Structure 1
Amino acid sequence: MESRNTPRVSIGVPVYNGERYIAETLDSLVAQTYRDFEIIICDNASTDRTQDVCRSYVERDVRIRYVRNAENIGASRNYKLALDLSCGEYFRWANSDDLFAPEGLARCVDILDREPSVVLAYPKTKFIDERGNVISEYHDEMHMQSPMASERFAQVMTKLGYVNIIYGLMRATILRKTGLLRNFPGGDIPLVAELTLYGKFHEIPEFLFYRRLHSKASSSYKADVSLTQEFFDPKTKGRISFRQWQHLGAHVRSTLRAPLNFSEKMRLIIYILRMGVWKRRLLIRELTEAVRLTLRGLLTKAGDVK
């Protein structure tokens, strides 16, 4: 068993009912060639054998901590908890079903050590199935090197597809300045966009991250807004979704709190307003749908009273 010191890297592992894959994930993390790290497992009140699996790893490696929530607090708060409990200079999240090549962490640390202007370093991604077989390669193309925050922000908003980059290695001090993972559908998108306001992104050209796609992965909820909302925050289950409005609002708030000069903030605000114009049909549709659902609810209540 290794002795424990203050680590340079913290790895947060949020998990809910992850007994099927979490052992594979932890094995891939423990096998990293870069050794100066801690792993914080935040169990969101799992009802399967996740706790037993995790505790067996805690017994074997002093670098691993296990924290169990008394209730499911939602992905947003659970991700934040992992960061709050960490003490490393660098931080990354690791989904409880994904895999990481042994040299992946070392390559990311090397970039952040050498490039002070970089706030996030990440390797390229391969998608794997339930059995770990490679499905396809994915080209994130998030190598954002412009010295202007407004240009980096626009590039991310234009190119961002699967948000694999959120599992890259970040400077913890910068990450804590952001709004973190928001508690609404697509809540990882505003976080990635906000990070561009603090520095550059560096893409490592090798495929060192393996993201698992399966029926119970959070990415499979996209077709059902209510399931996605419950995943991020169970307390908001059943609420009317204002996804487009929430994203625009998050981008504005991110811009206002970022350490940028006035001209850069104005460029960002103008770009966000243009985004609103581009998405005006979706914005109007959300308002129309909200009015329709509200009226239906009022009519239903009125009928119940009679």
Structure 2
Amino acid sequence: MSLISVGMPLYNAEKFVEQALDCLLRQTHTDLEIIISDNCSTDNTVAIVERYAAADTRLKLFRQPENLGPIPNFQFVVEQARGDYFMWRSYDDWSDDNYIETLAAVLDSNRAVDLAVGKVIRANNESQIEGGQELAAYKPTAGFRDSIDMIKASHPGWMYGLFRRAPILATINEVVRDFPHVWGWDHLILFPFASRNRVAGHYGTRFFQRETGISSDRYRPKPAAAQIELARSFYRFCRRDYDKSDASRVQKLAMGIFLLKHTSSCTEKFTRTLRILLGLRRP
């Protein structure tokens, strides 16, 4: 059994962090390091985590001297990781007890896969709904059409799957460097993996993503100028990343056209932005 790193970036997490930690400590894969970075919480988060860390040496608590911002805090926990595999876990999400073990087996069995994902369940106080689409069986000879299908099937909850540490560290470093926004960054984290057919799914285990609406209220840009800048940064990042792939020139052009169409049809914030850019409605 090999060491797997779990990173938990925290800020004012007292409401649900015990549930999240209990879930991790119940995992059937027990060789874990749980890296917790507190981003200057003002509630009882640190006291709760210190109590858990005193009882289980697998927990490592880092207290930031000043608030790093949300995305650099996600970056920090990856930088501290020592395992070959890495997983983020939010303070308000949970999973089946076999989640890490099941996804690790997917990565162990196929070196061409850099991200293993389970079944995503969107959860709130009233219901639990399956999110995203199940992937077809992984094909090592997958082509451009398969990349498009994988992007269509992707779900933000895949960000909490199990990654190989080296490629996710490189990706989060690029996102922090080149994308100065919080809204939409999870899709950029997934884009290099989905666009290169480096994702495989196993639907015998579930990840429960709690929907609180906090991200939309706090980080979604509202002024037209901010929406336009977000869209420009988003598409620029995708173009630069895909230009580094071994896709043909025609495929790279086709990917750019597909992303414009796909994001404008399935993501309301880009629909609104594109209408502004095209002059179809006044900002």
TM-score after normalising by structure 2: 0.82
Q: Map of 1:1-306 to 2, 5 A cutoff?
A: 8-130=3-125, 135-143=128-136, 145-146=138-139, 147-148=141-142, 150-160=144-154, 162-178=155-171, 179-180=174-175, 182-184=179-181, 185-216=183-214, 218=215, 221=216, 224=217, 227-228=218-219, 240-241=226-227, 242-258=229-245, 260=246, 263=248, 266-276=250-260, 279=264, 282-283=273-274, 285-286=276-277
SS in 1 for 2:114: strand
- Counterpart residue type for residue 136 of structure 1: I
Alpha-carbon distance, 1:212 to partner: 1.4
Alpha-carbon distance, 1:158 to partner: 2.6
What residue ranges of structure 1 are gaps of 5+ in the alignment? 1-5, 231-236, 293-306
- Counterpart residue type for residue 20 of structure 1: K
8 Å CA contact 2:150–2:197 kept in 1: the answer is no
Give the direction of change, closer, same or farther, for the CA distance of 1:281–1:61 in structure 2 (3 Å limit): closer
Alpha-carbon distance, 1:152 to partner: 4.1
Counterpart Cα distance in 2 of 1:274 and 1:199: 16
8 Å CA contact 1:144–1:200 kept in 2: the answer is no
Counterpart Cα distance in 2 of 1:90 and 1:76: 20
What residue ranges of structure 2 are gaps of 5+ in the alignment? 265-270
Counterpart Cα distance in 1 of 2:163 and 2:192: 13
Give the direction of change, closer, same or farther, for the CA distance of 1:61–1:277 in structure 2 (3 Å limit): closer
- Counterpart residue type for residue 252 of structure 1: R
TM-score after normalising by structure 1: 0.77
RMSD over equivalenced CA pairs, Å: 3.0
Give the direction of change, closer, same or farther, for the CA distance of 1:92–1:18 in structure 2 (3 Å limit): same
Q: Which moved more, 1:84-93 or 1:243-252?
A: 243-252
Alpha-carbon distance, 1:207 to partner: 4.3
Q: Percentage identity across aligned positions?
A: 22
- Counterpart residue type for residue 253 of structure 2: I
Equivalence for 1:303: none
SS in 2 for 1:122: strand
SS in 2 for 1:196: helix
Alpha-carbon distance, 1:60 to partner: 1.1
> C-alpha deviations, 1:113-133, integer Å up to 9, x for none?
111111111110223335xx7
Q: Which moved more, 1:81-90 or 1:118-127?
A: 118-127
8 Å CA contact 2:11–2:40 kept in 1: the answer is yes
Number of residues of Structure 1 aligned to a counterpart in Structure 2: 267
Q: Which moved more, 1:207-216 or 1:85-94?
A: 207-216
Equivalence for 2:268: none
